[in-house]
Amino acid sequence: MADAKVAFEGWGASGVAWGSQGWGVGHSDVTATGEVGTVAVTADANVYPSGLEATGQVGSVVVAADANVFPTGVSATGAIGTVTVVAEAIVYPTGVSATGYVGAVEVTGDAIVYPSGLQATGQVGTVVVQADAMRSDVIGKEVPLLALGLPWVGHFQTRNRGTLGGSVAHADPSAEIPLCLVVCGGTVVLQSRKRERRVPAVEFFQGALTTQRQYDELVVALEWPRASKDAGHAFIEIAERHGDFALAAAACALRVDANGKLLELSLGLGGVENRPIRIDVRQFIGRGALDSAAEIATHASKIVSPMEDHAASADFRRALTLDLVQRVIEAAVADTKKRGGA
């Protein structure tokens, strides 16, 4: 077993005169069984990591902060690369646990972030918080449809805690992230102890809160195709108020030629049926995008099977489909012009 050292500094530390150190700095309940590489705590203010426990081989458990940070209950079983919390403000990650092989569970924040209950079993790369994804220049450039959909996701409190993978695994019919993944032609990566498999997003969602994930599998990654530089994207939804569950949402990615004729079109709806769906629009390829927008909307409204619940009737959702599809196509065409396309 490697050396496990814990330094006690500050008020109440043994052998230190009262008031000679910074008040409120302390470490408790750090234990290790097996081989432990490093357990490190670095702070300029109040930091209370507690209950850090490792069994087996642990690379490092690190907490670094310039302000108030209270990570608790960090535990690991098996081989873990890194569990890291880095913050410049108030961060309270709790209940981070991992079983099996984990590459990294990482939380980085510039403001108030309270991720809790992060759990990974099997092979996990990074848990991406929705608020971080919203601020990502890479996502804005490479997956612009997702960047357009994220501001519609819940409220800032939920976006500071919810993850991209969590939304996909939950599979709410009105959720924006699953709809974007379907329209982009993305893939859900599933992992069990025995195998890894990739399921196209359009096949992954089976119904309300129902997916192809088996009982022994976890969603470990989402694969998002890079958008073409000349593609246009748009996302529109209708809800009782911004941040509420969508009564209906439409997402679109398209490419047009110099004459405005459709080269590619991917069109999807969320909140209309019991899962996010992609509309078959192959018959409209080669036709003028703006000239065909109303006809495509009519086509979509006729082939959907809207659900009916306390929030909206099936007829109302069909009417919303007719309106949203035309608007989202027109907005996507306008986006191609902003990007220097046709």
Is 12 a domain residue?
no
In this prediction, residue 68 carries a pLDDT of: 45
Is 13 a domain residue?
no
**In Å, how far are 43, 55, 86, 88, 218 from 107, measured between CA atoms?**
16, 22, 6, 12, 20
Which residue type is seen at 281? V
Q: What angle do CA 274, 279, 280 make, to 5 degrees?
A: 140
Number of domains in the chain: 3
The answer on 110 and 43 residing in a single domain is yes
**Extended strands (E) in 113-183:** 119-121
The answer on 202 and 253 residing in a single domain is no
Beta carbons of 224 and 181 less than 8 angstroms apart: yes
The answer on 239 and 332 residing in a single domain is yes
**Encoded tokens for 244:** 């509420």
In this prediction, residue 342 carries a pLDDT of: 61
In this prediction, residue 339 carries a pLDDT of: 81
Beta carbons of 139 and 227 less than 8 angstroms apart: no
In this prediction, residue 245 carries a pLDDT of: 92
Of 185, 204, 223, the residue at which a domain comes to its end is 223
**Extended strands (E) in the chain:** 31-43, 53-65, 75-77, 80-87, 97-99, 102-109, 119-121, 187-191, 196-200, 205-207, 210-211, 218-223, 232-238, 248-256, 262-270, 277-279
The answer on 302 and 283 residing in a single domain is yes
Is 264 a domain residue?
yes
The answer on 239 and 301 residing in a single domain is yes
**CA–CA dist 314, 209 (Å, integer):** 19
**Encoded tokens for 129:** 């918080």
Is 275 a domain residue?
yes
Range of the domain at 326: 232-338
Is 251 a domain residue?
yes
Classify residue 283 as left (phi > 0), alpha (psi -120 to 50) or beta: alpha
Is 239 a domain residue?
yes
The answer on 260 and 215 residing in a single domain is no
Is 136 a domain residue?
no
Of 68, 98, 127, the residue at which a domain comes to its end is 127
The answer on 247 and 217 residing in a single domain is no
In this prediction, residue 103 carries a pLDDT of: 40
Q: What angle do CA 111, 123, 81 make, to 5 degrees?
A: 65
Which CATH number goes with the domain that contains 213? 3.30.465.10
Of 204, 223, 242, the residue at which a domain comes to its end is 223
In this prediction, residue 127 carries a pLDDT of: 80
The answer on 195 and 118 residing in a single domain is no
Q: What 3-state class would DSSP assign to 43?
A: strand
pTM comes to: 0.66
Which residue type is seen at 88? E
**CA–CA dist 270, 247 (Å, integer):** 8
pLDDT 10s per residue in the chain (342 long)? 444 443 434 433 444 444 444 444 444 444 444 444 444 444 444 444 444 444 444 344 444 444 444 444 444 444 444 444 444 443 334 444 443 333 434 444 433 333 333 333 222 334 899 999 999 999 999 999 999 999 999 999 999 999 999 999 999 999 999 999 999 999 999 999 999 999 999 999 999 999 999 999 999 999 999 999 999 999 999 999 999 999 999 999 999 999 999 999 999 999 999 999 999 999 999 999 999 999 999 999 999 999 999 999 999 999 999 999 999 999 999 999 988 766
**In Å, how far are 27, 53, 109, 121 from 36, measured between CA atoms?**
17, 10, 27, 20
In this prediction, residue 271 carries a pLDDT of: 98
Please give the full DSSP string across 230-249, using - where no structure is assigned: T-EEEEEEE-SSTTSPPSEE
Is 139 a domain residue?
no
Which CATH number goes with the domain that contains 326? 3.30.390.50
In this prediction, residue 226 carries a pLDDT of: 94
**Encoded tokens for 4:** 């496990």
Classify residue 15 as left (phi > 0), alpha (psi -120 to 50) or beta: left
The answer on 317 and 257 residing in a single domain is yes
Q: Compute the 3-state secondary structure of the chain and give helix, strand, coil in percent, each to the nearest 5.
A: 25, 35, 40
* Helices and strands (H, E) in the chain, number of each type: 9, 16
